[in-house]
Amino acid sequence: LDTVFVMDQGKDKVTDSAHFPSAKAGLGDKLRVIVQGNLGGSGGYARGQLESVRKGTATYAMMMDDDVVCEPEGIIRAVTFGHLAKRPTIVGGHMFNLYSRSELHSFGEIVQPWRFWWQTRLDGYSDWDFAARNLRSSRWLHKRADVDFNGWFMCLIPRVVLEQIGLSLPIFIKWDDLEFGLRGKQHGFPTVTFPGAAVWHVPWTDKNDAVDWQAYFHHRNRFISALLHSPYPGGGRLVRESLNHQIKHLVSLQYSTVEIRHQALLDVLAGPYALHEQLPGKLAEVNAFRKQFTDAQLHTDPDTFPPIRRTKPPRKGKGPGTEIPGRLSQLLTAGMAPIRQLRPVRELSKEHPEAELAAMDAKWYRLATYDSAIVSMNDGSSAALYQRDPAHYRELLKKTVAIHAELRREWPRLAEEYRAALGDITSPEAWEKTLAPWMTAGPDDAEAADD
């Protein structure tokens, strides 16, 4: 073990914890706590990668999330496999469900090139429970399965790879690990997801990152990654799928999500050299902007909302979430829902929500039938009020069509621009400029912070 870098970007400092002295005593001079502004996961990982390259004494840099339970034996196995590989190889670990310890939730994945979206291999499974079927009887895990990338919840990167292909993209969070895996693959550095190396982490299904502030980063960074690596003209299905999803969010009354996804696409159109400049302040900007919409205003007290009332009772007494419509019914709803959004809202719904939906029941085909509804978050700790607004809907729909038309038209130019800039924006020199305000501390950052 060469150095343990802890990138502290939070308000509650690691060095203020009651547990810090014992952790520091255990690691001694191998521990280095680096305090810097909130630059997201990519900013934290890039700082560790930069320090590793500058120090030049370690063979590998291990990327690991701050909210995992780590088994040290897994690190030893990953490093051992890296040593035995004939060429520099990115070695990823598996991710188990922190709330169901025997469940294999995620590991190395592939990128579906036409859609440009990640997924488990078609011959693999997600959420595989070893309490039900042990490793010996899980035959699909007993074969080689090539992947495009491994999540940075646990990922071992040879230092020579960082030196040759650059550091993380400056994109705050989401898609940085995927893009790096694809970039490494293009340069001849494969990713191996290694059984026996693993951490425990909160499962993706317990997060709400498709509609909250993270939707901005998901959407922007997906387009940036596709511009860099999609093999298809125009990004394959990506632009069309983005348009479809925008309409889905519109009929779901998720206006804040639509607005920040619009901003994401406008920032893609701004080009690659704006990314470093946007990194320190984009999260605050996104949060401040979306809070003006009621669907982004979360409340923990149920009494904050008016009581549920409807002019008419549910059809045949069927409440929200009681049945899942068939494919034909969903297609009919998809065709009619955008038109229904143009109708005036029911008067009573302006003062009283028409329904209350749990996150798992808040599907687009249900939300599209209401003029207002209370919708809980995935963890059940809070909820927001969704309200239909025909005038806002018209404005956003028009903007959606215009932005996607521009993206389709500008794709060839943007792809060329992003690919030409990739080496510059991921270089140690570019990152040093972005990190300059927090790079004045010496090697004993932990001591300085502790003092």
Q: Report the amino acid identity of residue 263.
A: Q
Q: Which two tokens stand for residue 121?
A: 């291999």
Residues 241 and 431: their CA atoms lie apart, in Å, by 33
Specify whether 29 is catalytic.
Answer: no
* Sequence-separated (6 or more) residues with CB below 8 Å from residue 137: none
Q: Which residues of 386-419 are buried (b: 16+ CB within 10 A; e: fewer)?
A: bbbbeebbeebbebbeebbeebeeebeebbeebe
Q: What are 157's strand-pairing partners?
A: 61
Crossing angle between the packed helical segments 327-340 and 238-251, to the nearest 10 degrees: 70
Residue in this structure with the two tokens 């687009």, named with its chain if needed: 364
Pairing mode of beta strands 110-112, 154-158 = unpaired
In SS3 terms, the chain reads as CCCEEEEECCCCCHHHCCCHHHHHHHHHHHEEEEECCCCHHHHHHHHHHHHHHHHCCCCEEEEECCCCEECHHHHHHHHHHHHHCCCCCEEEEEEEECCEEEEEEECCEEEECCCCEEECCCCCCCCEECCCCCCCCCHHHCCCCCCCECCCCEEEEEHHHHHHHCCCCCCCCCCHHHHHHHHHHHCCCCEEEEEEEEEEECCHHHCCCCCCCHHHHHHHHHHHHHHHHCCCHHHCCHHHHHHHHHHHHHHCCCHHHHHHHHHHHHHHHCCHHHHHHHCCCHHHHHHHHHCCCHHHCCECCHHHCCCCCCCCCCHHHCCCCCCCCCHHHHHHHHHHHHHHCCCCCCHHHHCCCCCEECHHHCCHHHHCCCCEEEEECCCCCCEEEEECCHHHHHHHHHHHHHHHHHHHHHHHHHHHHHHHHHHHHCCHHHHHHHHHHHCCCCCCHHHHHHC
Choice among 177, 212, 295, 371 that is catalytic: 177
Catalytic residue ranges: 177
